[in-house]
Amino acid sequence: MTPHRLQRLREVLARRQPDLTVLMDGVHKKHNVSAVIRTCDAVGVLDAHAVWPAPRMGTHAGMSGGSGRWVRVVTHTDMSAAVTHLHGTGLRVVAAQQGEHAQDYRALDYTQPTAFVLGAELDGLGPVARAHADVHALIPMQGMVGSLNVSVAAALFLFEAQRQRLAAGLYERCRLEPARYDAVLFEWAHPLVAAYCRRHGASYPPMDATGTIVGDFRRAARERARP
């Protein structure tokens, strides 16, 4: 871990927005999932959410540009559970959905806690997402095609949110709780050690100012595993 690398990780993490996220409703094509995650990383989303047909679904490394390492994807068993979770964390759920009562996506305030719900381009959002969203937002279309690719739509919503949040100064200070900041920084700096600790139920070991691990984390994990 070089000082420059550690400083870069700290700077990027300090700009993460813990109250901005996306929820993918049945978006199952890996290249679309990866493109959405890449955009999440670009605008500072910390965690993304998805309702997938399988408990785990990989991303296409060539499309994600490695961004899957920097954005955690939280999976949910169904849309109802996902929306309940988002509402429980204080997020307003904005459904990307055409309709009579949908508002122009540029007219909404995304400086408040926001989760964008996006569906697959063929089927769109399911009935649960449409019914339980707090507001519907649309991207005005002037052509014959009625919708955009889901990753393109996600980019428009997220970069509008970034524009508003930059103007409001929300990227100028770290908005993560100290414990969460320290945990994520360790996971970014030492992903293999973090995975080892999680498998063994051990706490992450401390790092010094250079990002070097202090202590014998394997020994600490073994001691914790003893009956």
The structure's pTM equals: 0.88
Average pLDDT for 72-88: 92
- Residue 122 shares a structural domain with residue 154: yes
User: Which residue in 93, 74, 84 sits closest to 20, CA to CA?
Assistant: 93
Mean pLDDT (the chain) is 87
* Residue 37, amino acid: I
Give the structural domain span for 215: 178-225
- Residue 98 shares a structural domain with residue 32: yes
- Residue 210 shares a structural domain with residue 119: no
Largest pairwise CA distance in the chain: 66
Q: What is the per-residue pLDDT for 30?
A: 84
Q: What is the per-residue pLDDT for 221?
A: 61
Summarize pLDDT for 11-29 with one digit per residue, the tens: 999 999 999 999 998 887 8
- Residue 25 shares a structural domain with residue 103: yes
**pLDDT band at residue 88 using 50, 70 and 90 as cut-offs:** very high
DSSP element (H, E) containing 162: helix 150-167
Q: How many domains does the chain have?
A: 2
Q: Which has more confidence, 220 or 83?
A: 83
Instruction: Sheet containing 135-138: give its strands across.
Output: 72-76, 47-51, 20-25, 114-119, 92-96, 135-138, 103-104
Task: Please report, for the domain that includes residue 134, its CATH number.
Answer: 3.40.1280.10
- Residue 65 shares a structural domain with residue 108: yes
Quote the tokens at residue 72: 């955690």
Q: Residues of 14-52 as b/e, b for ≥16 C-beta within 10 angstroms? A: bbbbbbbbbbbbbbebeebbbbbbbbbbebbbbbbbbbb
- Residue 160 shares a structural domain with residue 201: no
Domain-located, residue 9: no
What does the chain come to in residues? 227
Domain-located, residue 7: no
- Residue 115 shares a structural domain with residue 189: no
- Residue 87 shares a structural domain with residue 190: no
Summarize pLDDT for 202-213 with one digit per residue, the tens: 889 999 989 898
Last residue in a domain, options 121, 138, 167: 167
Q: Parallel, antiparallel, or unpaired: how do β-strands 103-104 and 92-96 relate?
A: unpaired
- Residue 159 shares a structural domain with residue 134: yes
